[in-house]
Amino acid sequence: MDYYDDLEEILNSDVRRTGEEIDPYAGIFFSKDRKEEVIEVEETPEQVTLHPSPDNPQTLVLMTQGEWMKGCPEGGEQGLLFGLWNDLQAPSVKCPNKCDNNLSREKGMFTAIWPDFEHYVSYLRSHVQAKCSSCSAEVCLACGELATSSRLDKPKRRDGNPPDPLFHCAELQGMVLGMGLSMVEKMFEEQVREAQQEQQEDDNEENKSRKKRRVTGGASAVSHIIAGAESSTASTDEDGEEEYLFGVAQAGRGKGKRAPSGTGYGGGKEDQSGILAALEAQCARDTRIGTLLSQVRVFLPSLARSPDAETSDYLPHPTVLVHVRRRFNAVSSALLRNDSLADMSDRQVLYFELLEWLETVSNHEALASIMGMPIMMPQTVTFLLARPGSTQIRERKLVYEGSAGPRELLEAIAIQARAAVKGWESTKKKVQVKTEMTEAEKRKTGGAPVEERLRINVKGKEKEKAEEARLFTFCNRILATADAIDKALRDTKGAAFLQRLHDSLPKAPWEASLDQGQLRLSPNATDAEIRTMYEDWANRVNFQYCDLTIENEDTGETPNFKSVFNNDARGLAGADMPRRSLAIAKELAVLSTNLPVNWNSSIFLRVDESRVDVIKALITGPEGTPYENGCYVFDIFLGSNYNMAPPSVKYLTTNDGKFRFNPNLYADGKVCLSLLGTWQGPGWNPGKSTLLQVLISIQSMILCDEPYLNEPGWEAQRGTAASGRYSANVRRMVVHTAMMGNLKNPPEPFGDVIRTHFRLKARSLRTQLNKWLAMDDGVPVSEAAVLAPTKKDAASPTWAEGSQSAMRGYVDAFKMMLDELQKEEVGTDS
């Protein structure tokens, strides 16, 4: 199907969709499986001298035809671009009054590359209309028609001002938008290179004992900095530098790769001057490109133009659609791939303008379809030999492939915005608090009323409230833009089109529906199919809201929570803490879309729907470690001073306080992590560190391949017999408690997650268990946390003595549980 056959339908109101018929654009708008191969030409540009005023000649470079056509993989679009380009290269136009006079154009009038967009439009505005020397008619040099001032029926503007020459015709609109968006694209690419160079310079200057990784979304140069893993137990790679991969990468760690051994993140004491300088540089870049986008947006067709819509607003040039699809979409795609809502909010000067563009485009009937169409992005580039006989022209072959469209990319951000708003609203809910205290409470608090205990220092609160309002204004703007696009698509394409689009959009984990049939394993399923099924399921359920409250008989009481931090949570009921609310909202936005999900290790969160500061986490043990595939549960509370102070974290998978799974995971639930302030070393960076860092630290540094090395002073024991014995004991505890115990009595609210995790992994678990059984040293499980190399193992056997009797008993019992689990109906899982 040729794309511009569809464009004619778009512009023809007689074929406007009602939403009842079959969507004719399914193959183009909803399939990203397209590939287009195109040959692009690179030419050496020439220079030209223009005269914006008689005494001010300007020597400028001309845009080449190859540059004008660049980035366009569609045959129909290429024809439109070439047609406009060719028409405006003619040296003159005939006078429309048929006086046989020609009006000359300055070479490069439309295609000269000026230092900035304002100079370009200023020159055109003063030169695009000329007076015929024969009949004195004012003629537009773009379209060759009479200018408005020469027409007998010349329209009048409501504000009394003369019409703008640059809105005279559709040809001008197509050329000005094309040149303007070319400048936007070029500036954006230069800024990305500038930011990358700054980052490279920063990396080169870093102390190798402190590793930082700047996390960027799309082309964002500075979003936030995650301090590297470092503690008293940290080990180094062969080149002396620690290795840490943010996000899901570390979860996919291979068995043969040494795991990071640290127990926390750096922070706190680091010099912030470089970060502040980088943020200032980013702000300057954002201001420049945001200003340019704003200037170019004026020329987008808009029926809401003030004070009056222009002719080209009603009948835009066909190349307008082409320019927006190929140049603006490339920039917007990079910006919308930023995975940090907080970073976007901090860069509102740019992102508010981006949202203005999206709404303006979606609100025009001829352009709205772009919002639902995949973006064709270049994937491979092959440079070809120069054309025979030419030293100035060479060609390159590009393969374009379909990728997520603007509405799909915006939805990923909208999910974060909804999570932030939900978190903010939750912290703002006023809980009814009883004012009468028991005698015990009075003794404990000195008789102070509850309201007094909840009172916080109001100094600085106004500033905090302003920051809070800033974020939620931005969140609501994102959601309003998504709604505006949906409304425009419904109006122009019909309800069926919009429904099809929504079905293809990413879903928030807490909103995603799960077809239970998708979780039914075929006996003939391949390992690759099982992995895909597992990761798809985990992505749907890794972040969920749930009810963690315990009903009270007295409805006036502050609710209790299913958390070891119940008293802390109840103590903050109804508290107004803007800084904390803002921090929690940002945290939830990130967690809702950035939790690591991988076959090898994943993180699942459950957040109380009424009190989002009450959280439970489940981490599955990374592959290649003694913790592999076990389920480890934690209670988390974001306290009164979050995120100026770390969260409270308690480990729950302890076999009722009997097992210590790691030198940093105590049997009483204490989590030793420098990031939490429970271990020596660089700690929490106020206002910068996050709960996500804590979770990934636990996943990759505590649940590591040689937990024995996490004990201070034992770093040199890598690969020793003592370390091997310790890991063997951990494996026994894992099978006994983190696998069998959790499956037998699943901790709330992870019952469905645990059952589905073990059911989908049953095949690989049997292989893993057999391997672990072969590796076992025959010693019964020990409740001792750390076995010093010079001490005998203190055993607390659960099974009968004998070679491998304990581990074999655990393995056999757990395999039987897996057999029973696989027989269960899929409908019991979610």
The catalytic residue positions are 672
Which has the closest alpha carbon to 660: 747, 776, 560, 782?
782
Residue type at 328?
F
Q: In whole angstroms, what is the distance from residue 258 CA to residue 243 CA?
A: 10
Beta bridge partners of 619: 603, 632
Structure tokens at 767: 């292989």
Q: In whole angstroms, what is the distance from residue 251 CA to residue 260 CA?
A: 11
Contact of 598 with 670, CB cutoff 8 Å: no
For the four alpha carbons of 118, 123, 128 and 129, in that order, the dihedral sign comes to: positive
Q: How far apart are the first and last CA of the chain?
A: 41
Q: In whole angstroms, what is the distance from residue 732 CA to residue 626 CA?
A: 9
Cβ neighbors of 417 (< 8 A, separation 6 or more) are 341, 474, 475, 476, 478, 479, 589
CA atoms lying within 13 Å on the CB side of residue 468: 22
**Cα maximum dimension of the chain:** 113
Instruction: Collapse the DSSP code of 227 into the 3-class scheme (helix H, G, I; strand E, B; otherwise coil) and give the result.
Output: strand
Q: For the residues of 338-388, what is the DSSP string, one character each? A: ---HHHHHHTHHHHHHHHHHHHHHHTSTTTGGGGGSPEEEEEEEEEEEEPT
Q: In whole angstroms, what is the distance from residue 486 CA to residue 812 CA?
A: 55
Cβ neighbors of 31 (< 8 A, separation 6 or more) are 374, 402
C-alpha distances out from residue 530 to 393, 516, 763, Å: 51, 15, 9
Q: In whole angstroms, what is the distance from residue 666 CA to residue 672 CA?
A: 8
Beta strands 543-546 and 603-608 are parallel
